[in-house]
Each structure stands twice: as C-alpha cells, then as structure tokens.
Amino acid sequence: MRLGLTFGYWGRGPSAGFVETAQEAERLGFDSVWTAESWGSDAFTPLTWIAANTSRINLGTAVTQMTARTPTATAMHALTLDHLSGGRVMLGLGLSGPQVVEGWYGRPFPKSPLTFTREYVDVIRQVLRREGPVALEGRYAQHPYRGEDGTGLGKPLKPITHPLRADIPLFLGAEGPKNVHLTTQIADGWLPLHWSPYNPSVYGESLRDKPEGFRIAPMVQVVLEDDLEKAMFPIKAAMGFYVGGMGAKSKNFHADLMRRFGYSDAADRIQDLFFEGRREEAIAAVPSEFVDEIALVGSADRIRDRYTAWRDDKHVTDMIVTTKDPTALKLLADLANA
C-alpha cells in the first residue's frame, strides 16, 4: 500500500509550511503528495510550487473541479506540469455538487453527471494521446463547437506541445454507486472521500468490474493525540460541515454516502441541526464509530493497531493521509515500511 499526503485546499491563506512538509514526506518515502480546490485556492499552483522544490514524489490533484475548466484546459495544466516535474503528475478530477457548480462556477449542474464525466475524460485522453485533432460530438463536450450561438469557424486542433506522457494516471473523486462504477471503466484509479476497511461492501457492487491494476486511494485523516475525543473532534467538525452544509438538504452527496455506510439517522440529525444554525450540536451528532471507521485517530499504539486493517484491505492500493504532524508522518512511514 503506497502512502500519499494531501494538503487539501487553503483556508484564509496559504497553508503554512506546505512545501517543507512535502519535502519531509518525500524524505520519508511517501509515494505522492496531493492538493485540492473548492472555491478559493486552485489545485495546480501549489502543486507546481511543490514540484519545484522536490525531485521524486508524485504530484496529484485530489481533486480539481471539472466544471472550473474545459477538459482541454485541464489537460493543458496536466501536460505542462508533467513536463516541468519530469513526469510526476497524477490527475484527480471531481464534479462537486450543484451548490458549488452553480453558485461558484456559474454553470448549470449537468443533468447527466455520468455523461458529463465520460465526455470530460474522453477529451483529456485525446489531448494526452495526441493521435489527432480533438474531436467529440457529445452532449456536453463539443470539439469543435457547433452550437447555434457559435460562429461555425471552429477548427479541429491537437495540442501544440507534445505531452511527455500519453498515460498520465487519471483518478476520479466519485461518491455515488453509478459514478464509482463508471470510474472503474474510464479511469486509472478512484479517490474515495471516505472508505472503511471494516465495511468495504458499501462499494462492493460498484467495484465488481474494476480491471487489474485499478488503484483505490482513499483519503484518511490522521490525528495523533492521546485524548481520543480531542483527536476525533477535527474529523467530526469536517463531517458536520460536509454532511450538514456541503450541498442542499435535498441533494447532498456526502449525506447520502454517510447513509450508505449505515448512519442514516445520524445524517438526518446532522442536517437538521446544521440547517437550524446549531452547528456545534451538528458536529457533536457525528458518531464516533463512523469517525473510527474512516480515519486513524488516537495514540501511537492505537493508530499502529488500527493501521493493520488498512494494510490488510485487499482493495486499497494507496492511503492518502491528511496530517501536518511530522511525528504522525514518521509513524505512518515506519508502519508502511515494517
């Protein structure tokens, strides 16, 4: 199982020491480092900064928003950074939800997310293969554009720059069962926002057709702290926000996922509290049992013991951890190399 480190996206400003932390992860033997974006910092610029200050560690986006850029623009970002980094890019894509897509990016949320994703990936693959001009008459992706509001002068093009690699690994951050199944068919790997080595059957049907070599790289929050309740709090705070506020009450992919894990009552309660403005109570309503399934928290001995379930999970190929604690990074590196 490969180890990765994710920084997520920035809050009010740049994450302090993220380059130095990436360098330490590289020194410890981590395979990859990842960045993200939502409606603030972008994913590619911090990753480029890291690339310039490291030499070996792979560089992934987990995730970059598909609706933020046309697929050709995303492919340009990836092939440019792949050249500059010497072939270290891994491209992780995500669709987000209607509130972000329509509220921030100012675009309609696709009525058929699966079709949108399939076409988006198709265009990126065409750009990276550079076998000919990009051509697609899709529902969402049209190359050249033939819409009634166009000039009709669009010309089929292929990238001027020859990609360093035609097979840049492409991951999707999918959550719904159909999206996860599609991911196994069109991508090289999957970035689960939440995974439980104790309950992998949640995705069993969706993963039934995954090909040999398909990578499953869940995000795992790690908090090294002897006080277990204190260790769980940041995960509960994040889950309270994601389940309660990251989406409309009637359409929240994170809440739906929590229900599939078997915590329907808790998801409903979190949403109700969050929409009533009772955020502290929403956070407290996140079950400790759920946190323990999807994260590594507690003392070093406790994390060492619970890491075994992740290591022995036959599905997981990569563990992408969230932590800024150098002691936790060292602990994980030691566990991975044991």
- What is the Cα–Cα distance from 233 to 65, expressed in whole angstroms? 28
Main-chain dihedrals φ then ψ at residue 119, nearest 5 degrees: -65, -40
Residue-level pLDDT at 25? 98
- Residue 240 is predicted with a pLDDT of 94
Q: How many CA atoms lie within 13 A of 11 on its CB side?
A: 3
Distance, in Å, from the CA atom of 230 to the CA atom of 260, rounded to the nearest integer, reads: 26
Residue segments in the chain with a per-residue pLDDT below the cut of 70: none
Phi, psi of 128 (to 5 degrees): -70, -30
Cβ atoms 293, 261 nearer than 8 A: yes
- pTM for this structure? 0.94
**Tell me, what's the pLDDT at 257?**
87
Label residue 257 exposed, middle or buried (CB < 10 Å: 0-12, 13-18, 19+): buried
Tell me the residue type at 201: S
Query: Closest Cα partner for 202 from 92, 293, 311, 319?
Result: 293
- CA 291, 293, 298: angle at the middle one, nearest 5? 60
226: Cβ contacts below 8 Å, ≥ 6 apart: 298, 299
The model's pLDDT over 210-228, given as tens digits with 9 standing for 90+, comes to 999 999 999 999 999 999 9
Looking at residue 274, its pLDDT comes to 94
CA-to-CA distance for 304 and 41, rounded, in angstroms? 34
Give the pair of three-digit tokens for residue 104. 């921030």
160-214 pLDDT, tens digit per residue, is: 999 999 999 999 999 889 999 999 999 999 999 999 999 989 999 999 999 999 9
Nearest-angstrom CA–CA distance, 217 and 238: 19
Q: How far apart are the first and last CA of the chain?
A: 12
Maximum distance among all alpha carbons in the chain? 65
Say how far apart CA 210 and CA 187 lie, in whole Å. Answer: 10
In the prediction, which pLDDT does 251 show? 76
